[in-house]
Amino acid sequence: MEVALADTGGAIGAGQAQTAAIRIDGLVKRYGPFVAIDHLSLEIPRGQFFVIVGPSGCGKTTLLRILAGLDKPSEGRIETIAPAAGRPGNSMVFQGDSIFPWMNVWDNAAYGLRMRGAPKAEIAEVVGHYLDRTGLRRFAKSYPHQLSGGMRQRVSIARAFANDPEILLMDEPFSALDAQNKLLLQEELLRIWEEHRKTVVFITHSVDEAVILGDRIMVMTAQPGRIKNFVDVTLPRPRDVLELQRSPVYAELVHTIWSSLRDEVNRAKRQAEGEG
């Protein structure tokens, strides 16, 4: 579901567009006495594919919701780049089904553009383009219940890209899919993203997926969520997923991230068992 960005603290001016799309400074998020996010500061340059990994409950979704303007920080400051006139600040792709069951594929994909009153010809061109790119053109008149889970996720992605936001926020969009569909959608996402190189913030539990897609990966600690470390993915683009997985650099990166994540996942597990 697309959500227009509420002003969460300030907009980064166009003059600074080269530098940052998102700037987070000293972000704290509490729910009562519970600290979900603890003093997180970071900057995401425009056009970067930024990936967040971290154990369950470390605050990833909370961070994305704050970036989308759906939730407010308890402390700290968030700045996001001001979108060009007539374009939304962000679009969010949620985990699982987030398309409207009562709209067909075409209308779902066109939703954001229609909401902001884009001209008919533009809608036809843009929606047609992204339905082609996601292999959904033939299903334009189908309703979500007539589609597979993978196809419904494709509709979400087509809709988010068609909406043409400044920043794309994606919360584990592929986690419910089987391995084959996941691979196909990762390849599609890479191809679509490489057309325009939008700023993306992408959450995943899969270290492989993080390396396949990302420019930079942030590993978060178990609750309270802090930055553990960053890993830069220097693999060249365009990327071919199967080729990539055979490269020694890929294996090394996956190993590095897992080494960093393992302690946090164990810590989260102990917390869940009431020993942490």
Residues that bind Mg ion (CB under 5 A): 61
28 is a contact residue toward ligand ATP (CB under 6 A): no
204 is a contact residue toward ligand ATP (CB under 6 A): no
Cβ distance to ligand ATP smaller for residue 83 or 173: 173
58 is a contact residue toward ligand ATP (CB under 6 A): yes
Q: Which does 117 bind (CB under 5 to 8 A by kind): ligand ATP, Mg ion, none?
A: none
Q: Is the dihedral of CA 55, 58, 63, 64 positive or negative?
A: positive
| CA neighbor of 54 nearest in space, from 43, 64, 69 | 64
Cβ distance to ligand ATP smaller for residue 72 or 120: 72
Judge whether 24 and 40 are in contact, CB under 8 Å: yes
Q: Which does 223 bind (CB under 5 to 8 A by kind): ligand ATP, Mg ion, none?
A: ligand ATP
- Determine which residue in the list 15, 31, 86, 117 makes contact with ligand ATP, applying CB under 6 A: 31
d(CA 53, CA 217): 7
36 is a contact residue toward ligand ATP (CB under 6 A): yes
Pairing of strands 90-93, 227-232: unpaired
Stretch that binds ligand ATP, among 53-61, 76-84, 105-113, 257-265 (CB under 6 A): 53-61
d(CA 15, CA 212): 32
Task: Report CA 17 to chain centroid distance, whole Å.
Answer: 20
Q: Could you give the C-alpha distances from 71 to 9, 35, 78, 93, 96, in angstroms and in order?
A: 12, 15, 12, 16, 20
Q: Which does 76 bind (CB under 5 to 8 A by kind): ligand ATP, Mg ion, none?
A: none
Token pair 């567009």 in the structure block, residue:
17
Q: Which amino acid is at 66?
A: I
d(CA 143, CA 99): 10
| CA neighbor of 230 nearest in space, from 43, 12, 39 | 43
- Contact pattern for ligand ATP over residues 226 through 245, marking x by CB under 6 A: --------------------
d(CA 63, CA 20): 17
Cβ distance to ligand ATP smaller for residue 134 or 223: 223
Size of the site for ligand ATP (CB under 6 A): 12
- Determine which residue in the list 23, 40, 59, 157 makes contact with ligand ATP, applying CB under 6 A: 59
Cβ distance to ligand ATP smaller for residue 223 or 260: 223
60 is a contact residue toward ligand ATP (CB under 6 A): yes
98 is a contact residue toward ligand ATP (CB under 6 A): no
As a whole number of Å, the end-to-end CA separation of the chain is 36
Q: How far is the CB of 122 from Mg ion (least distance, A)?
A: 34
Strands (E), the chain: 11-12, 22-31, 34-44, 49-53, 75-81, 90-93, 167-171, 199-203, 216-220, 227-232
56 is a contact residue toward ligand ATP (CB under 6 A): yes
Q: How far is the CB of 226 from ligand ATP (least distance, A)?
A: 12
Tell me which residues touch ligand ATP (CB under 6 A).
31, 34, 36, 54, 56-62, 223
